[in-house]
Structure 1
Amino acid sequence: MNVSNRRIPYAELSPDVRAAIEARTGPALKTESASEGLNSEIAVRLVSQAGEYYVKGRRSDHRWAWTQRREAEVNPYVHGIAPALVARVEAGGWDLLIFEAVDGHHADYRPGSPDLPKVVDVLRRLGRLPCPPIELRHAEQRLERYVDRPEDRAHFTGDALLHTDWNNTNVLVAGDRALVVDWGWATKGAPWLDAGYWVLWLTAFGHEPASAEQWAAQVPAWAKAPAEGVDAFAVANARMWDEIGGLNPDPWTARMVDAARRWRDYRQA
């Protein structure tokens, strides 16, 4: 999910908020705002004598502030495939998460990229994790407005933990592994859905839909996906991105609208 927010520099936080953060990190020696992604109103890499941290968050009254709580609750259950959460700080009207910083790069989804097998690996590892006993949205509820028939929702039900936002900026490649960040939209649903979401992003990065599905096929859960369920999922995503794009989408959104339509058309051919 991509939302336009003004990115707030660390120095613009009030002294009491910075003090609450630095009570967990140690005094900041250097801070640098992240350039990628606009989901968080503040996203800062903070260096202190104790180490390096990534601080992200929203004002407590933001309509999606609940994603902060969701991400904090999910983090203990995704150890090894996501950066570790150091602390959640609620102070001065802000809801902030402090993570251990990771040195890496955003995954390259283009055809031929050496990052693709690493993304397959993290999808497999996620697929082996149990769904945590916390409140999660359900995939069939998130997609119900976009299906042809109410019964199509049954294809999306399940007990798997899903990330659902496989934007390449949410996948950090560090050495020989990939880590997944931004779990605020974590969802419970059919285990093959995350591979399906990845198909859409691969298509947006230059893969033909058939090639994108071949990469998804390396994730075991995809082999159990019913063809009619994948068809319904492709249709639902095309409708969702059409809705997001509206009549005059920006270039980033237009690319996603086009990718979703191409995948839908491939499934319907």
Structure 2
Amino acid sequence: MPRSTWEALPVAVRTAIERETGGVHDTVLPDAGRNSDFSATLHTETGAIFCKGIADADGKRGRMHRHEAAVNPLLPPEVAPRLLWHAEADGWLLLGFEHSPGHHVDLSPGSADLGPVRDVVTTMAAALSTVSVDAPSLAEQWARLAAWRRLAKDAPDDLDPWARDHLDELTSWETTAVEHVAGSTLAHTDLHALNLLSNDGKVQIVDWAWSRNANPAVDPAFLVTRLIEAGHASEAAETWAEQLPLWQQTPAETKTAFAVAIWGIWEYLERHQPLAHRTALTAAARSWARYRLDL
């Protein structure tokens, strides 16, 4: 369904929100975001909050948002905005967070945001290293998707020529990645510019609905791909990631396996769940994997 405005929300939903916030006198809808049926900064009698909601509270996306609510108390306040309340009304699940002011980060070369992003990812990794939570397994998710294995069964005509000739090798790396991504640490798994908010030299990480138990090195791996998408050369993106203690400790084999697996994921999703941004992201992932494979 199209993302709702405040005025278009069911009366029962608006009433449930205002029961938590007091009267809402202005709303500002974000210019990005796809996973919620309603999301907005609400200016209320008690101040600004960020609210998002799902119309199918008992469906798949409802489960994702319940998961986000469940893990939020475990996240350090310097890393992620606090969940202030949650409510249900008329089939909707609603989450109200501290308002995190600022702008989506710029990940391009030379950006002033790159330092604060490094700092918050470092803080996140250290803070979550001892956190135990009931969360889905990223290793199981990757094993079910098995992107390179699926691509190998019916190789697309436009697949990278080297990849077409080395699908057995790529599938083997994918198997290694599934083994190496297994872990019991909570990882965000969706770090990109729209989920990183910068304000006054500090960055916070939002949208934890996709967080999974995993090897936490997967977060820097996903971020390397986003840096390349933003204009960094593969070598420069890895040089940036080497500032992260977690990435420094990650074995080269794991880095290569993650790069190949992420390439396969985006190659597969670009074809089977196409979205406008995925062509550039696939190209970035391909570039990094080829760099790691010395191609």
> Which 4+ residue blocks in structure 1 deviate beyond 3 angstroms?
130-133, 149-152, 247-251
Q: Which amino acid aligns with 1:23?
A: R
**Counterpart position of 1:169:** 194
**Counterpart position of 2:73:** 76
Q: Does 1:26 align with 2:22?
A: yes
Q: Which amino acid aligns with 1:22?
A: E
Contact kept? 2:133, 2:186, Cα under 8 Å: no
Contact kept? 2:38, 2:52, Cα under 8 Å: yes
State the TM-score, normalizing by the size of structure 1: 0.93
CA deviation profile, 1:157-180 (whole Å, cap 9, x unmatched): 223221111120100001121000
Deviates more, 1:151-160 or 1:102-111: 151-160
Which of 254, 265, 268 is residue 240 of structure 1 equivalent to? Answer: 265
Distance 1:265 1:153 in 2: 19
**In the TM superposition, what is the alpha-carbon distance from 1:251 to its structure 2 partner?**
3.7
Show the 5 A alignment for 1:243-258: 243-246=268-271, 249-258=274-283
Q: Does 1:54 align with 2:79?
A: no
**In the TM superposition, what is the alpha-carbon distance from 1:61 to its structure 2 partner?**
4.2
Distance 2:177 2:201 in 1: 38
Task: Kindly tell me the number of residue pairs found equivalent between the two proteins.
Answer: 265
CA change 1:35–1:133 in 2 (3 A) is same
**In the TM superposition, what is the alpha-carbon distance from 1:235 to its structure 2 partner?**
1.1
**Counterpart position of 2:132:** 133
Distance 1:137 1:92 in 2: 28
Which of 33, 40, 48 is residue 36 of structure 2 equivalent to? Answer: 40
Distance 2:126 2:248 in 1: 15
Q: Secondary structure at the match of 1:21?
A: helix
Contact kept? 2:39, 2:52, Cα under 8 Å: yes
CA RMSD of aligned residues (A): 1.6
Which of 7, 10, 13 is residue 9 of structure 2 equivalent to? Answer: 13
Show the 5 A alignment for 1:103-122: 103-122=101-120
Show the 5 A alignment for 1:93-104: 93-104=91-102
Show the 5 A alignment for 1:215-226: 215-226=240-251
**In the TM superposition, what is the alpha-carbon distance from 1:71 to its structure 2 partner?**
0.8
**Counterpart position of 2:237:** 212
Q: Does 1:266 align with 2:265?
A: no
Q: Percent of pairs identical after alignment?
A: 33
Which of 53, 63, 66 is residue 66 of structure 1 equivalent to? Answer: 63
Distance 1:151 1:110 in 2: 31
